[in-house]
Copies of this chain bind each other. A is one copy, B any other.
Amino acid sequence: MQPIRLGLVGYGKIAQDQHVPAIQANPAFSLCAVATQGQPCPGVANFGSLAQMLSAGPALDAIAFCTPPQGRYGLVSEALAAGKHVLVEKPPCASLGEALALVDQATEAGVTGLFAWHSRFAPGVAPAKAWLAERTLKAVHVTWKESVRKWHPGQTWIWQAGGLGVFDPGINALSIVTDVLATPLFVENAQLQVPENCQSPIAATLRMRNAIGLPVTADLDFDHGHDELWRIELDAGDSVLRLDQGGAALSIDGHRQTLPAEAEYPAMYRHFQQLIASGTCDMDVQPLRLVADSFFAGERVLVEAFHE
């Protein structure tokens, strides 16, 4: 079988660290072209734009998008109009409207789209689903605390209008929880702590519930310098499953379970390959929708200014 001929748009840190190694390690894909306005990707044809790559480049079956979410809608739409399968880094778009429009466009075009919620491919997620299949949950608690100063130095766009603030890491937790739970989650209330010199929250507390009444809370903190924590607790009453390290570690009733090593992006590209083979889409807007609903329904509290 011929490999899937893949183009990559955007060759920044996430493309270099994660996408290219995952693609090149998977014989089902052949990385044929890169569109970038920065440094070129070695060993493949480089182009200054998606339009140039599509018109002057090698034949492509699929395109992966690693540019920032602002402006990404137009690019992905262009690729879909050209009949290409698309993989779109998280968060898929700058607004929910754009993301929903891409879902419709991919469906109408009959091509494969994947909104790349990479945390869903953490090694603990599939075992958590298997554990849950035999149980009924009583509650879910998310605790997601990390240091923006450590992980995002100088990235002021996180704090501007349209930036996700603490939801930049928090949306990873929401992507796992919504994958594990079968029914959609609703934001009942949210408290967003917004530094007085920023537009986006630096911390948030969410109270959510699904259609069958399951309470889900999330405690998100983005200025947490010590003991960083990426934890999801699934409480089934007689048993509690805990994901740690963003899904790379798993314990059941306090007993640590053995998991394969973290390999989110390789697993995600295998999933993309299977979607293309079966002619289906996986474009879940729910994590982004929960963020938009938190901004919409949430109460804002001004807190002290944030300075790096």
Contact = CB atoms under 8 A, between A and B. Distances in A.
A256 to B, nearest CB: 34
Given A101-B186, A186-B97, A289-B96, A296 B299 contact: no
Nearest to A192: B161
A49 B295 CA distance: 32
Contacts of A59: none
A295 B296 CA distance: 5
A160 B191 CA distance: 12
Instruction: Pick from A161, A184, A189 the residue with the most CB of B within 10 Å.
Output: A161
Interface in A265-308: 286, 289-293, 295-300
A205 to B, nearest CB: 12
A211 interface: yes
A139 interface: no
A307 B211 CA distance: 38
A68 interface: no
Contact of A297 (B162, B298, B299): B162
A204 interface: no
A100 interface: yes
Interface of A: 73, 77, 94-98, 100-101, 160-162, 184-187, 189-190, 199, 211, 286, 289-293, 295-300
A299 B199 CA distance: 6
Nearest to A93: B186
A189 B162 CA distance: 8
Contacts of A185: 97
A130 B95 CA distance: 31
B73 A299 contact: no
Contacts of A73: 186
A105 to B, nearest CB: 8
Contact of A186 (B95, B161, B189, B296): B95
Contact of A94 (B98, B289, B295, B297): B297
Nearest to A167: B296
Q: Most chain-B CB neighbours within 10 Å: which of A73, A94, A291?
A: A94
A74 to B, nearest CB: 9
A14 to B, nearest CB: 22
B186 A98 contact: yes
Contacts of A98: 186
Contacts of A190: 161
Contacts of A94: 297
Given A161-B299, A296-B295, A289 B97 contact: yes
A293 B291 CA distance: 10
